[in-house]
Structure 1
Amino acid sequence: MRVISVIMGVYNAENSVERAVRSLYTYTGDMEVIAVNDGSKDGTADKLFRLSEEFPSLKVFSLEENCGLTYCLNFALEKSAGEFVARMDADDICRVGRFEKQLAFLNGHPDYAFTGGGARLFDEKGVYARRSFPAQPQLSDIIRGNPFIHPTLLFRREALLKVGGYRDVSKTVRSEDYDLVFRLYAARLYGYNLQDDLISYYEPRNLAKKHTFRTRRNEFYVRMYGSRLNRSVKGRFYAFKPLILAFLPAGLYRRLHKNREEKL
């Protein structure tokens, strides 16, 4: 069994996927990378297959049609063999030392099921801010918003399997990670955030609203579902937050979003 399996869903990422994959291989330990090409229409497949010739532990699977991130992650999880399972996106960059730090933490803290960390935010103009969350998120933090950065996470494999991986249903689109965190905590499988920056996270600095009304509605569903699982009455009130945000003007949303950023 491999020590780490990195699972990636890749869609139309020919301009960034090589950078992402190469950044993973700054880790020299026992690792495999499972990349699922999600029906890309550009040169993503060619880039991935050329990289797999250079990195034998990079396993590439191509889907004929676009099936969505959640499907790809469950597909990759099924194909993986790692004791630990890591997330990574095709437009982000894994920072040197990420997996060493995460493995050291989980090996030294058997009471935690997964760990994440902070991220440097960057776009075409360079790095401009960072984002981080509390070290020991409690349910009271989770009902207010997801306190984990999805592509920084490293899970114990048995924890993911215990909750059935990601829920591949239409109501979790763009909130599949939040849904997973709710279900892990309901199963008493808790996470920890290292206060190190583990990845460089691609996010344009003048980003308009990231979510449509549909994805905000999905987040409302995930919050309600997760609050019921965790028996949180307060969480059901917080569930209405994304519906309120859906009607905010783009300029006000950007200002609120920037409050989550920390200056370098």
Structure 2
Amino acid sequence: MIYFVGAGPGDAELITVKGKRLLAEADLVIYAGSLVNPELLNTCKKETTILDSAKMTLEAVIKTMTDANRLQESCTIVRLHTGDPSIYGAIREQMDRLDAAGLAYEVVPGVSSFCGVAAALKKEYTLPDVSQTVILTRMEGRTPMPPKEELSLLASHQATMVIFLSVSLAKQVQERLLSGGYQEETPIAVVYKATWPDEKIYRGYLNQLAQLIESHHITKTALIVVGEFLGDTYLRSKLYDPTFNHMFREASQ
């Protein structure tokens, strides 16, 4: 069986219980070496074959998995992706090829880096009367964006925004967000390697974004978050309001 496993955002303890168990049972592990915490590999057996996919093509990854599966009938294979494999994980193209080869696989979700960022910031993305929507997106680079998902169009919603894979394009990100409707004084944060031991957090306002990233020499492995959820003004949740009646509790007044 082949398992696509989310490794979590960085902290080795943030992999799921199931993901850790599968790593301990694996005969072959192919991991995203540029992003996955290598400490996780200590969970593997001594005889486990461990390969870094940063040096492999899609074709090489698939061939390695299919060959191992055919050579050993009971082989357990883990394809270890950073964060949650469904977000910028490029797993669909792998699954399609495994389907074509008639090989069984399972996806084990993981903690995404955007969840790790919220935890690092000690903030809630969905505050009452501030934002009830979280947009996960990126700036176009070598991978283009669908026209309707251009950053300034998404910015027009004024929702909480988490921007992946874009710190190297900080000036363009800042320009697009401002042209889309965010105000210059909109709070922002840049979180480098959230949940890793060398995590760093930089806070400011949208009109400072590009300068903030440049001055701290951040070129990769960081997320940009934008929105008023980073501020201190919000309404109390109705869920625990004593005046709010719901199916589990009668209003007290």
TM-score range, shorter chain: 0.3 to 0.5
Higher percent of residues as helix: 1
- TM-score, with structure 1 as normaliser: 0.33
- TM-score, with structure 2 as normaliser: 0.34
Higher percent of residues as strand: 1
Bigger radius of gyration, 1 or 2?
2
